[in-house]
């Protein structure tokens, strides 16, 4: 009988969305029984009170027990409960190699002995590294709290600063918005305006280089024209000074939302990351284009690959890179706060609608429970759910109105994977650009694909 350890980690799950340690333990113990392993030791770290970056004591003790052979197997709820950095994951893979450690996960198969299993673990680790989970919970809790207290959530938009509860113009930022509108209405593409701004050293609302999606978001805000929104509808003038007049705003809106206007990039793209992924070689910073592949002298077909358009020294199989980026994107889009990152329009309204959707869905779930437990009758159940569904539809419509690209929000949500696969390439590319930058690092000579060389940085 294989002696195994169970490793669990307590994380902040005060809002109930997290996974309690008792549940983790129960599931892990059951898995041990199913696999016929004997639980020799249980390790439990507490992430709530521990300061960030603190060496996890129990984690260290567990590593020690693997090294000294006390345990030959390890059960975790999911790989993101086990490792928080790629470094830690590599240590575990290393231990698996040297000590024949067997790893089992409640949350799905994980086989560190095969290259495919390692790839899966690394992708999962790469998602965990960005701590999107934590971030999502923090945000969710924050805006729910505020919605319940009736407090305003939104920050002053780009171009404004909040002084004593009022939004006042920041002259340089307002001028940037005005110039962008002038340049666009003068016939320039969004992309060329962005290039001009970046060459001048102007920075986006988040202090980064401008990206087309960011500038587009800024320009689509009704408040630029001094218009006040409520539940997606303009209800009058705001108390703040507009950046430009309503006429200019209408023209900009018409231009940016025209469905005839193909992507702002000119050529229609056929690949997920061409023109988005960048080369990491020092001083190059070229963008990746796709080489469709060819038949070599040996008669073997080379698959399509991303190649740096500038230095041509970085080359990576297209499908490998796409797989990593898509897995990370799907994980990110599964989180409820993803929507706020790309929403346009009045943030307060969207937040309120998002909070309402969450509350209504929770209510629907409770109603179904009550019906299942015979607390409500079938007739009551139908009447209650009918009402809730109607309100849910309305809230969903006002959220959908905030999508910068039609159909964009259809991709975000709990079944993000299916929706992502069904989305158009245009929508997928827009989302990738809105959320992340992708840089491809060189690969050592003769080495096979390593997902760690696809470097993903979140734009937040």
Q: Binding residues for Zn ion, per CB under 5 A?
A: 279, 281, 284, 286, 308, 310-311
CB of residue 317 vs Zn ion: minimum separation in angstroms? 17
Closer by beta carbon to Zn ion, 310 or else 391: 310
- Between 170 and 289, name the residue whose CB sits nearer to Zn ion: 289
- The token duo for 117 is 């299993």
Q: Specify whether the CB–CB gap between 364 and 393 falls below 8 A.
A: no
C-beta of 271 vs 278, nearer to Zn ion: 278
Q: Is residue 347 within 8 Å of residue 154, measured between CB atoms?
A: yes
Residue 130 or 281 with smaller CB distance to Zn ion: 281
Residue 434 neighbours by CB distance under 10 Å: 20
- CB 308 to Zn ion: min, Å: 3
Least distance (Å) from Zn ion to the CB of residue 439? Answer: 10
**CA–CA gap between residue 140 and residue 145 (Å, rounded):** 9
> CA angle, corner 327, sides to 325 and 329, nearest 5?
65
Tokens read off for 271: 């690949």
CB–CB of 18/12 below 8 Å?
A: yes
Compare residues 117 and 442 and give the one whose CB is closer to Zn ion.
Answer: 442
Give the SS3 label for residue 424. coil
Shortest Cβ 282–Zn ion spacing (Å): 9
In whole angstroms, the minimum distance from the beta carbon of 309 to Zn ion comes to 8
Handedness of CA 268, 271, 273, 275 (dihedral sign): negative
Question: CA 70, 76, 78: angle at the middle one, nearest 5?
Answer: 155
Residues facing 229 on adjacent strands = 234
| C-beta closer to Zn ion: residue 283 or 386 | 283
**C-beta of 70: minimal distance to Zn ion in Å?**
49
> Which of residues 185 and 311 has its CB atom nearest to Zn ion in the complex?
311
Instruction: Kindly state the smallest distance separating residue 310's Cβ from Zn ion, in Å.
Output: 5
Between CA 134 and CA 432 the distance in angstroms is: 21
Which of 256/308 has CB closer to Zn ion?
A: 308
The nearest distance, CB 328 to Zn ion, in angstroms, is: 22
Q: Which is nearer to Zn ion, 308 or 354 (CB)?
A: 308
- Strand pairing of 166-169 and 233-237? unpaired
| Comparison of 125 and 275: residue with beta carbon closer to Zn ion | 275
**Shortest distance (Å) from residue 443 CB to Zn ion:** 13
Q: Closest approach of Cβ 455 to Zn ion, in Å?
A: 14
Tell me the C-alpha distance between 28 and 7, whole Å. Answer: 9
Shortest spacing between CB 306 and Zn ion, in angstroms: 11
Residue 430 structure tokens: 């827009």
The DSSP code sequence of 91-110 is HHHHHHHHH--EEEETTS--
Nearest to 435 by CA among 345, 325, 281, 307: 325
Closest CA to 409 of 194, 232, 274: 232
Instruction: Quote the tokens at residue 401.
Output: 């109105």
Token pair, residue 215, equals 């500038």
Nearer to Zn ion, 254 or 311 (CB): 311
Kindly report the backbone phi and psi dihedral angles of residue 184, in degrees, each rounded to the nearest multiple of 5, phi listed first: -65, -50
Q: Which residue is nearest to Zn ion (CB)?
A: 279
Q: In which region does residue 232 sit, left (phi positive, over 0), alpha (psi from -120 to 50) or beta (all else)?
A: left
Nearer to Zn ion, 316 or 428 (CB): 316
* DSSP codes, 306-368: EEETTT---EEEHHHHHHHHHHHHHHHHTSTTHHHHH--S-HHHHHHHHHHHHHHHHHHHHHH
- Taking the complex as a whole, the smallest distance from the CB of residue 311 to Zn ion amounts, in Å, to 3
Contact 419, 410 (CB under 8 A): yes
């Amino acid at each position: 009988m294989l002696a195994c350890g169970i490793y669990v980690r307590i994380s902040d799950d005060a809002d109930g969305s997290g996974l309690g340690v008792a549940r983790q333990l129960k599931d892990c113990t059951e898995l041990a029984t199913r696999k016929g392993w004997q639980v020799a030791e249980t390790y439990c770290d507490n992430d709530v009170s521990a300061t960030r970056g603190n060496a996890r004591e129990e984690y260290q003790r567990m590593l020690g027990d693997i090294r000294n052979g006390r345990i030959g197997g390890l059960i975790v709820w999911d790989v993101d409960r086990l490792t928080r950095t790629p470094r830690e994951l590599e240590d575990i893979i290393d231990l698996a190699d040297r000590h024949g450690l067997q790893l089992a996960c409640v949350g799905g198969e994980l086989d560190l002995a095969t290259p495919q299993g390692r790839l899966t673990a690394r992708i999962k680790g790469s998602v965990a590294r960005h701590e999107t989970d934590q971030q999502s919970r923090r945000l969710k809790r924050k805006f729910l709290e505020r919605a319940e207290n009736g407090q305003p959530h939104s920050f002053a938009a780009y171009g404004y600063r909040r002084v004593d509860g009022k939004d006042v113009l920041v002259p340089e930022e307002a001028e940037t918005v005005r110039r962008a509108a002038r340049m666009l209405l003068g016939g320039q593409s969004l992309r060329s305006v962005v290039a001009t701004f970046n060459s001048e050293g102007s920075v986006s609302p988040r202090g980064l280089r401008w990206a087309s999606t960011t500038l587009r978001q800024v320009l689509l805000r009704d408040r630029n024209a001094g218009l006040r929104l409520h539940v997606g509808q303009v209800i009058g003038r705001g108390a703040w000074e507009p950046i430009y007049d309503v006429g200019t705003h209408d023209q900009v809106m018409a231009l940016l939302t025209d469905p005839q206007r193909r992507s702002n990039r000119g050529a229609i793209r056929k690949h997920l990351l061409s023109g988005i992924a960048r080369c990491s070689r020092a001083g190059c910073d070229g963008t990746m284009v796709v080489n469709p592949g060819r038949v070599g002298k040996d008669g073997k077909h080379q698959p399509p690959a991303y190649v740096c358009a500038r230095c041509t020294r970085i080359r990576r199989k297209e499908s490998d890179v796409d797989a990593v980026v898509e897995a990370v994107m799907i994980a990110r889009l599964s989180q409820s706060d993803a929507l706020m990152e790309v929403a346009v329009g009045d943030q307060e309204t969207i937040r309120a609608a998002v909070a309402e959707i969450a509350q209504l869905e929770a209510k629907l779930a409770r109603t179904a429970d009550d019906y299942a437990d015979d607390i409500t009758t079938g007739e009551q159940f139908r009447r209650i759910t009918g009402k809730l569904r109607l309100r849910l539809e309305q809230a969903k419509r006002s959220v959908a109105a905030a999508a910068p690209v039609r159909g964009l929000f259809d991709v975000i949500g709990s079944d993000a994977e299916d929706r992502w696969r069904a989305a158009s390439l245009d929508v997928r590319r827009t989302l990738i650009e809105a959320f992340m930058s992708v840089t491809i690092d060189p690969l050592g000579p003769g080495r096979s694909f390593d997902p760690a060389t696809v470097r993903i940085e979140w734009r937040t």
